[in-house]
Structure formats: structure tokens, C-alpha cells
């Protein structure tokens, strides 16, 4: 594998003091070439999901209608509806934006960007355009120090060191994901970011003016609780946190894939980012020998529990590497 990290104390149940460090390129590009040479028919799976627009539209309209429906409810009821219903819809839309960042709804990138801004509406915070910029770098430069903003900062790693701080980190992980790029690798906003912002603020203003603050509060709460201590948010940890030395990407093959655009097929997704979630299961069926030997998960809730309770696992449990010279251009 070509990795190295300060893991000598793991056997005694002590959290590591450094990331895993790899001296090889990320594993997905080479595996993609191997699989395509052996199974060229996988190329037929490339291309947009023909039902993406319909799925996004249904989720957006249902969530916005729900926001208007709870406008006169108590805050306790709004919190309950947010956690047990709205969180699933908003997390679904967050992962729709992930799908759209790879241009998997339309062949024309601009159409995907507009649909991403539309999918962003119930989330309450403009993020779809900015997310695409950083997420594509996460694929191209997986684990690269200073570029892959999916990896926790040293400040996070040195602070989040026990079950209590890890629980707080899990609850607030959306804030860490949002603020990390601002401090580590800020990018100047362009016209698309301003368009995303203006349209989002217009929707928020409309909701408050016609239905009150509780409707907007419901949308924001649905985003916040759905990205924290919530079953669907387990994918943030399961995808790349190392519970088994030597493997840096993990798939999940549980029922929540049905609600999350099959993002659980994460090894398959990184191997073939041009294949939409609705067809990723076929990659595993065709090239099963490449995936069945890998460690995977069946429960995202269990992943969250393991992350919090395992004293040897924390923000340092990520693979990092230096920028390869052949990518430095």
C-alpha cells in the first residue's frame, strides 16, 4: 500500500498523534484502468441519470411544502419533524448536489449547475456551486495535504480526542466541512456563487415573508440535524476514515442507499465518478472480485458509534499524501 503513520500506540488503545501518510498515488485511478481493461462494457454505464431531475424536483417540492405546513407549529414539533422527516429530505438533496457536481443529471454542465441551485433551495444555505469546486478536488487530489478539504485540520485532530469531543464534532461536522476551506484553502467567489447566493436569499426571504421564521427555521434545522448525529450522516465518516489499516475508501451496502443516491457505493464511485449512483451497483456486480474483498459497512449508525467509542479512531484516522509531481500543474 505504501502508507505510514504514527500507529504504534493503537494496540494499547491510545489515539494516534498523526495522520496515516501514503507515498503512493490514490488507489482509484489505477483500479479504474485495471477494471476497464478487463471489463470494457462498464463504459456503457457512463452518463446521466435520466430520472435525476424528477427525483430532485419531488424532494424540493415536498420539503418546501412541509416547511409551509409547519409554519404555526411549536418549535418542539418543528424540531421533531426536522429530525425524523425533513433531515432525510435535505440530506437527500445534499447528496443530489453531490451527484450534480459530477454532471450526472444532464450532459450539459450548465444545466447540472442550475439544477444544483434548485436542489439547494430547501437546504437554506447557499452551497451547491462552492461544493462542486472543492469536491472535484477531493476526487482528483484525494488525501493530498492542503488540497483535499475533506480531511480534518490539525486543530480538529488535536482537539477531538475523546468520546465527548468526538460526539460534539459529529453533531457539528457540517460546520467543520463548511468552515474548513475558508481557513485552509479559500477560493474567490465568481458569478455562479453570487447567483447561488441571490436565489437562495430570495427563497429564504419569501419563506419568512409569507410563512414566518418557523418555516425557514424548519429548513435550516433539517439541514443541521441531518448532517450531525443522524444515521444518514454516517457516510461522512464511513467513506474515508480508516478503521482498517491499508484501506482508505470504504463502501456501505445498507438500505439507506435508497435515499442517498447510492453514495454508499463509495469505492465504486471514486473508481468511476462518471457513473451515476443509480448504476453503481452494476459496477460491483460486473467487477465483483475487486470489491468483495474490501472492508465495507452495513450500518452508518454503527459507524458513528464506532467512531465515537473507539479510542484509537479520530480525526487523525485519515490517509494523507504529498502532491505528486505529475499532478502538480
Summarize pLDDT for 252-267 with one digit per residue, the tens: 999 999 999 999 999 9
- Predicted pLDDT at 15: 78
Distance CA 325, CA 25 (A): 11
pLDDT digits (tens, 9 = 90+) for 147-162: 999 999 999 999 999 9
- Predicted pLDDT at 4: 38
- Predicted pLDDT at 3: 38
Averaged pLDDT, 187-206: 97
pLDDT digits (tens, 9 = 90+) for 21-34: 999 999 999 999 99
| pLDDT of 8 higher than 90 | no
Does residue 83 contact residue 75 with C-beta atoms inside 8 Å? no
- Predicted pLDDT at 6: 41
Residue 244 pLDDT class (50, 70, 90 cuts) = confident
Averaged pLDDT, 62-85: 98
Of all residues in the chain, the percent with pLDDT exceeding 70 is 95
- Predicted pLDDT at 191: 97
The SS3 assignment for 246 reads coil
Residue 1 pLDDT class (50, 70, 90 cuts) = very low
Averaged pLDDT, 215-231: 97
| pLDDT of 195 higher than 50 | yes
User: Which residue stretches of the chain are H helix?
Assistant: 28-38, 52-69, 75-81, 87-101, 109-120, 128-140, 154-159, 163-171, 173-184, 191-211, 213-226, 234-238, 266-271, 280-286, 288-291, 300-309
Amino acid at each position: 500500500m505504501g502508507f505510514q503513520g504514527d500507529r504504534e500506540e493503537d494496540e494499547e488503545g491510545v489515539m494516534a498523534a498523526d495522520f496515516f501518510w501514503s507515498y503512493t498515488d490514490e488507489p482509484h485511478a489505477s483500479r479504474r484502468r485495471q477494471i476497464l481493461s478487463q471489463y470494457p462494457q462498464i463504459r456503457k454505464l457512463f452518463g446521466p441519470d435520466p430520472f435525476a431531475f424528477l427525483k430532485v424536483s419531488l424532494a424540493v417540492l415536498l420539503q418546501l411544502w412541509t416547511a409551509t405546513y409547519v409554519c404555526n407549529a411549536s418549535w418542539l414539533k418543528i424540531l421533531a419533524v426536522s429530525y425524523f422527516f425533513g433531515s432525510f429530505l435535505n440530506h437527500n438533496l445534499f447528496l443530489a448536489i453531490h451527484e450534480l457536481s459530477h454532471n450526472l443529471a444532464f450532459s450539459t454542465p450548465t444545466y447540472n449547475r442550475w439544477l444544483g441551485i434548485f436542489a439547494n433551495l430547501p437546504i437554506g444555505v447557499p452551497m451547491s456551486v462552492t461544493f462542486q469546486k472543492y469536491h472535484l478536488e477531493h476526487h482528483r487530489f484525494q488525501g493530498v495535504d492542503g488540497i483535499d478539504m475533506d480531511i480534518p485540520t490539525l486543530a480538529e485532530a488535536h482537539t477531538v480526542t475523546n468520546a465527548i469531543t468526538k460526539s460534539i464534532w459529529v453533531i457539528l461536522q457540517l460546520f467543520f466541512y463548511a468552515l474548513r476551506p475558508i481557513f485552509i484553502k479559500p477560493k474567490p467567489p465568481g458569478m455562479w456563487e453570487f447567483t447561488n447566493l441571490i436565489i437562495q436569499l430570495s427563497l429564504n426571504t419569501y419563506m419568512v415573508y409569507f410563512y414566518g421564521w418557523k418555516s425557514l427555521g424548519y429548513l435550516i434545522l433539517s439541514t443541521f440535524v441531518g448532517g450531525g448525529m443522524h444515521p444518514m450522516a454516517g457516510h461522512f465518516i464511513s467513506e474515508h476514515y480508516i478503521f482498517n489499516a491499508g484501506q482508505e475508501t470504504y463502501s456501505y451496502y445498507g438500505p439507506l442507499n435508497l435515499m442517498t443516491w447510492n453514495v454508499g457505493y463509495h469505492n465504486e464511485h471514486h473508481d468511476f465518478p462518471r457513473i451515476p449512483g443509480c448504476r453503481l451497483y452494476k459496477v460491483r456486480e460486473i467487477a465483483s472480485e475487486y470489491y468483495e474483498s474490501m472492508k465495507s459497512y452495513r450500518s452508518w449508525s454503527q459507524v458513528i458509534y464506532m467512531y465515537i467509542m473507539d479510542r484509537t479512531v479520530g480525526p487523525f484516522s485519515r490517509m494523507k499524501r504529498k502532491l505528486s509531481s505529475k499532478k502538480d500543474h
